[in-house]
A and B are shown apart, each in its own frame.
Chain A
């Protein structure tokens, strides 16, 4: 199954893994990490917004968080998606 990953588990970073999913399945997001309890909603929104902006409609996303803010999360989602589609330079 096609999959790609970006980011690290260093402080204020996260690892975003995107995996191919059936067309029409939509976006599914699974998250873990200390921030999820208080920032889960914000993380979901940031991820969904970034995917939308990149034109991604169907994807399984998993996020392992170590304190990443929205800026870092979005950058890692974008990097993972670009790796996934093989288009490397933005």
Chain B
């Protein structure tokens, strides 16, 4: 199970960040060919990103590329260039139509088989940055087996809702709730959008705690300094870890004894609870079973 607590955006035309971003230990990196790159630099960025991907040194990070939108002239060249490098996934901006995801799935399969990459390896992360996109979140999430997560937009979504940014992002509460619901209904991750003020750690923490409570699995970040804050929020407390350890150990014991039912503190504990406990330990950086990863 892939931890996706943080995904660090690496501007596609910035060698420094492309080559060293993974050193900050985010769970994933997003090499950005879209908003971080000016129109006049799309070509140069694509070449640079291609070569950095070929080099393939990203530590343990999940490697994804944010391609340009399917409404632009760039996306085809983007996927043709980066997918053969063997990346973990692409992130598609402004997704509105499940049909586009189906289309992308086919295009990816084509490229993968030509490049001798296992078909289906390249996952899809969908950015839902318009009202329509958010409304169709569930269908979009189900449009392909490749879809690993759906993510709300920030500024673009506000613009589409014809509203402004308020102090506590009131206007994005609804969309986030819908996406969390749709994601879990469809069986994919819900990953939140970036927090733009890189000097406001307290604000970042508040927002992260709130989206975690809603059911999000992680958050994109635009600056390495934001990583420890987000990780801390998504890291279970000592108490939660203790409890999770108990449950997982009880489940292991029951399995070893060939017993179907698992008991903890005198109460029955069913499968989803055991799974959640395992997930808790993974988020704590401990493998299931309590040993350090």
Residues of chain A touching chain B, judged by Cβ–Cβ distance below 8 Å, are 6-8, 10-13, 68-69, 71-72, 74-76, 78-79, 82-83, 88-90
Contacts and interface: CB of A to CB of B under 8 A. Distances in A.
Max count, chain B CB within 10 A of own CB: residue among A12, A83, A89 = A89
A47 to B, nearest CB: 15
B19 A90 contact: no
Given A79-B44, A82-B43, A83-B43, A90 B50 contact: yes
Contacts of B14: 10, 13
24 contacts: A7-B44, A8-B13, A11-B16, A12-B15, A12-B16, A13-B14, A13-B15, A71-B52, A72-B15, A72-B48, A72-B51, A75-B44, A75-B47, A75-B48, A75-B50, A76-B48, A79-B43, A79-B44, A82-B47, A83-B43, A89-B43, A90-B47, A90-B50, A90-B81
Contacts of A89: 43, 46, 77
B16 A71 contact: no
A88 B43 contact: yes
A46 to B, nearest CB: 12
Nearest to B76: A89
Given A12-B19, A13-B16, A71-B52, 16 more contacts: A6-B44, A11-B16, A12-B15, A71-B19, A71-B51, A72-B15, A72-B19, A74-B51, A75-B51, A78-B47, A79-B43, A82-B47, A83-B43, A88-B43, A90-B46, A90-B81
Nearest to B43: A88
Contacts of A7: 44
A6 B52 CA distance: 17
A43 to B, nearest CB: 15
Given A71-B51, A82-B43, A10 B77 contact: no
A76 B44 contact: yes
A20 B207 CA distance: 54
A36 to B, nearest CB: 18
Nearest to B45: A79
Contacts of B81: 90
Contacts of A69: 19
- Count chain A CB atoms within 10 A of each CB in B14, B46, B48, B77 and give the residue with the most: B48
Nearest to B55: A71
A87 B187 CA distance: 43
Contacts of A68: 15
Contacts of A11: 15-16
Nearest to B74: A89
A68 B51 CA distance: 13
B195 to A, nearest CB: 24
Contacts of A90: 46-47, 50, 77, 81
Contacts of A83: 43-44
